[in-house]
A and B are shown apart, each in its own frame.
Chain A
Amino acid sequence: MERFILFTVNGLAFGAIYASVALALVIIWRATRVLNFAQGAQAVASAYVAWVVTDLTGSYWLGLAAALVSGLLLGALVQLTVFRRAESMPPLNAVIVGVGLLIFIEAVLGMIFSIEHTRTIDAAFGSTKLRIADTPLVSPQDLFVIGSVLAVMVAIGWLMTKTPVGLRMRAAAFAPDTARLMGVRVPRMLTLGWALAGFAGALAAMLVLPTSAELVPQAMDGVFVLGFTAAVVGGLDSPVGAVVGGIVSGLVLSYTSGYLSSDLLYPATLVLLIAVLLVKPEGLFSSVQARRV
């Protein structure tokens, strides 16, 4: 029973992180039909910014704030410089551009930050599990992870549905020509979408990196794959799907690693993905139906 609680809490915490990455991917996909393959690399770059700020000021929270701000800026920058042209190209080209950007960002980070030093990102709160009747349950950090991702999701959801800016962003995504006629600055809205995605990605990095041993340029690659899986499982068109996909993936993978073997993390991801897509080829929450003749 103890182990079940451990694996469940573990699964929810990691699931929240995958959901954050998935949300970043879904926001961009819905707006521009681009799969941002460099999302993980952008996220880890934001984490390096946090590390530098924390190193200079000694404050974790300033570092976190710096990461989130740099996530916004980097997301916008990446779209303005690189992806704007890719938006009008066939989807495969945009994937390659993302791959190229991923490789480039990680290599540049490797050049700037020499490997002789060990760098880590701290947890925001304690990671020791609180106990009830001598059974370890959740730690303050677990609650922070789940809570902050939920808060961000709610905030983004509110932004998209209840504010004029959100309405403009959705209009720019679904009907760009009509929106343009109505006075919406479509390119600016798209850039804003990318900025929000960068924010979500940076948050995911700051939440997951305390659990891995060390901050290296490749640290988000695995999380990106898992977040991508979560987005695909949930349905790329659906933000709700991103969240559900994240939680489901997190739990399934946690139970598999726990009860079977931690070697099976990625093979289990593959099995989960195939299982869901064979039944619903466009994800759990997709509304687009394949046209049959």
Chain B
Amino acid sequence: MSVLRNSTLLRHLLVTASFALVLFLAVYLVDDFSVNQVSTLAVYLCVCFGLTVLIGGNGQISLGHAALMAVGAYTMAKFLPSYADEFGQVSVGVVLAGLLLAIVVTTAVGAVIGLAAARLRGPYLAGATLALGVAVPGVTTYFHDTFNGEQGLPVASPVVPESMASAGWSIDRLVALIAVGCAVVVLFLVANLKRSGFGRHLAAVRDHEIAAQLCGLSVPREQVKAFALSAATAGLGGGVLGLVLQGANPHSFGLVLSLTVLGAVVIGGLGSLRGALWGSLIVVLLSRVLSELEVNDNAPAAAYGLLLMIVMLAAPGGIQGLVARLGGHLPRRSPQPQGGN
């Protein structure tokens, strides 16, 4: 296995392929209702892979990432209708093109935000991203003609190819397949980026800005790159969420979603892709389990709030930190970011 030892790329390919296999089977095998939650899981994975790199890998906090997801979803909503048939459906190819466009547009927006954010630190960055996150509904209502305000815009569904339809694939299941595919691709790309110079530069800036500058890195440039990366994955996740919800709507991309993805990456373990996986799984499973138990309608929220507090106070490195400690491995770097102050 020296091949594996020597090649990061091959290692990542193997892990990604395993991941893809499990997810594909999940899409294929679960019942019609649960397949929707597999899609939701994939959406969270896309967003969280990027967000955990931003916060854990680069030390910049974002409390408004749902706004970037909204950009992805609205891009899909505006792009797809020109290619829709009389039932308002589009081919899978158009959907994929739309997602690509969503990534491009959101990355551009993310880069602009990153430019502004690069000058801010700690709580000031938190405040700015929070304001960004809550500004979405106001923008959609003010520019009513473009964004149709609080009612939002529909996102076209993909047409299920004949061969798949006769095998029993529903639209929801096809969307889940696309979603899962996106999550797999994001995992592979982000994992490789993290291990490359790109990732190391981000971490250097996070750990010691002045030393990084002395080594020739431009701190603002690295921070913009991190923001752009997290925006790209958020835009993709948002575009997929638009497909899942069959619409783009400010209520779905509000503060609640921003705080949920933030909670997911922190619970899972900052800076770690495995952490993003744990966090996303927990968010989706918790809401499923609690709604099945049919306790008070407010119970899922109360449980999520409690969980956030308990994990943060008892296991600040998140679940990945716990796993690493229990597994007896020395973590290669401390699970807590040094914070960019």
Contact = CB atoms under 8 A, between A and B. Distances in A.
Q: Do A and B touch, yes or no (CB under 8 Å, in the complex)? A: yes
Interface of A: 29, 35, 82, 85-86, 89-93, 95-97, 99-108, 110-111, 221-222, 225, 228-229, 231-232, 236, 261, 263-267, 269-270, 273-274, 277-278, 281-283, 291, 293
Given A92-B339, A277-B120, A293-B214, A99 B308 contact: yes
A228 B309 CA distance: 21
Residue among A96, A267, A293 with the highest chain B CB neighbour number at 10 A = A96
Given A92-B339, A265-B138, A99 B307 contact: no
B234 interface: no
Given A92-B270, A261-B142, A274-B116, A82 B313 contact: yes
A60 B341 CA distance: 45
B155 to A, nearest CB: 23
B127 A232 contact: yes
13 contacts: A86-B313, A96-B266, A97-B308, A100-B309, A103-B305, A104-B301, A111-B299, A225-B131, A225-B255, A228-B130, A261-B142, A264-B142, A266-B134
The contact size tier of chain B is 35 or more
Interface string B272-316: 000000000000000000000000111101101111110011001
Contacts of B339: 90-92
B312 A273 contact: no
B298 A111 contact: yes
Nearest to A233: B127
B318 to A, nearest CB: 10
| Max chain A Cβ within 10 angstroms of own Cβ: one of B301, B302, B312 | B312
Given A97-B313, A101-B305, A232-B127, A270 B132 contact: yes
Contacts of A29: 123
Contacts of A100: 263, 304-309, 312
Interface of B: 55, 61, 63, 116, 119-124, 126-128, 130-132, 134-135, 137-139, 141-142, 210, 213-214, 255, 259, 262-263, 266, 270, 296-299, 301-302, 304-309, 312-313, 316, 336-339, 341
A263 B138 contact: yes
Given A229-B127, A266-B134, A281 B259 contact: no
A35 B142 contact: no
Given A86-B312, A229-B127, A267 B302 contact: no
Given A91-B341, A100-B305, A293-B213, 17 more contacts: A91-B339, A97-B312, A103-B301, A103-B304, A104-B305, A105-B305, A108-B298, A231-B127, A269-B134, A270-B135, A274-B128, A277-B116, A277-B120, A278-B116, A281-B120, A281-B124, A291-B210
B128 A90 contact: no
Most buried by B among A99, A221, A266: A99
Contacts of A266: 131, 134-135, 137-138
Given A82-B313, A99-B262, A111-B296, A277 B305 contact: no
A279 B122 CA distance: 17
Nearest to B270: A92
Contacts of B302: 103-104, 107-108, 111
A106 B210 CA distance: 42
Nearest to B317: A93
Given A92-B55, A96-B266, A82 B309 contact: yes
A95 B312 CA distance: 10
